[in-house]
Amino acid sequence: MVYHESFQTVKGTINWDDPMYKLYEKAKKQGKWNPADIDFSQDRIDFQSLSNEEKIAALPLVAGFSAGEEAVTLDILPMIKAMARQGRLEDTMFLTTFLHDEAKHVEMFSRWQQAVGVGDMDLSIFHNDSYKRIFYEALPESLERLNTDDSPEAVIRAATVYNMIVEGTLAESGYYAFRQIFKKAGLFPGILQGIDYLNMDEGRHLQFGIYTIQRLVAGNDANYKVFIDYMDELWEHVIGYVDYLSALGEQQKKLAPTKRLLEVDYDMLRNYAVKQFNIRKNKIDRAKKYNSVDELEKALTEVES
Ligand code: DAO
Ligand code: MN
Ligand code: FE2
């Protein structure tokens, strides 16, 4: 039996200055969009006007996002439970908005697939082994562990794969690819609007991950090593997936060498993913210079206010 020994809000109040509380406030203001309000009618017309080769070229990214959004929606609960068990009220409050955001993201892609007429297609053919290692295995494994173990190591590993790799590296690169392909081609205004909303939501999710890992690695070399080792272990699969998308693009180029509407510069996408990965590492590196969690939290609060 688990008991509460006391309640924060009867001894005092919510900590209004807590960075996670501030994120919760931000989420309430920014997170008001509704996927059901996005008009996908032009996307449907655009998709129907593409050749079969071009239609296929548009789908791998959607296949990556649809399953990715579903995975994070299904897998995040143990993180919420772990923060709640630790009595981290402000983190838990923010995470209620986080799960809701992810649910809207799954809805957005599913609605698009249905609107353009690929709702019944099995898009998992676009998931290679690297993608599967991350989304079918590492993500659920690391999050599931939090059900029984909320040690700093377990929390860092979960936030590393979820926030730093899936969100901070892959999703960020995915938004870049979406804009590069579809915006440039003047196609799919509905999904592009959805991507702008997602991007804004993910900014808040990333702040949760950065804050969570930073507070655990501040002044703790062993915890920092857990973070950096897991980042490096997962990198092989990130790049394995990005290179696979690029190989698919090359294949399609050979099938339809002329009149290409959906052109992607895969070198740029690869460079972008490398850059995102290094930005995430640097953010966590910065926390090492603080000797304690208190010192770091004070600095973070100052930055936030
Ligand atoms: O919403 O938190 C989240 C995660 C979304 C999963 C993103 C998967 C991206 C797959 C495409 C990447 C292309 C480089
Ligand atoms: Mn999402
Ligand atoms: Fe997310």
Q: Mean pLDDT per segment of 10 residues, for the chain of length 305 residues?
A: 90 97 98 98 96 88 98 98 97 98 98 98 97 98 98 98 98 94 92 98 98 95 97 98 91 68 80 97 89 72 57
Residue closest via CA to ligand 1's atom 13 equals 174
Contact 26, 204 (CB under 8 A): yes
At 54 the pLDDT is 87
Contact 179, 195 (CB under 8 A): yes
Residue to substitute in 66, 69, 98, 181 for testing ligand 1 pocket (most ligand atoms within 8 angstroms of CB): 69
Ligand 1 lined by 170 (C-beta under 6 Å)? yes
At 144 the pLDDT is 98
Closest CA to 239 of 198, 275, 285: 275
Contact 241, 131 (CB under 8 A): yes
Ligand 1 lined by 91 (C-beta under 6 Å)? no
Separation of first and last alpha carbons in the chain: 40
Contact 215, 288 (CB under 8 A): no
At 261 the pLDDT is 61
Ligand 1 lined by 105 (C-beta under 6 Å)? yes
The SS3 call for residue 187 is: coil
At 305 the pLDDT is 46
The SS3 call for residue 16 is: coil
At 160 the pLDDT is 98
Domains and CATH numbers, the chain: 40-300 (1.10.620.20)
Q: Is 266 left (phi over 0), alpha (psi -120 to 50) or beta?
A: alpha
- Beta-carbon count within 10 A of 7 CB: 10
Q: What is the pTM of this model?
A: 0.95
Ligand 1 lined by 171 (C-beta under 6 Å)? yes
In terms of Cβ atoms closer than 10 Å to its own Cβ (0-12, 13-18, 19+), residue 99 is middle
Tokens 């592009």 identify what position?
A: 192
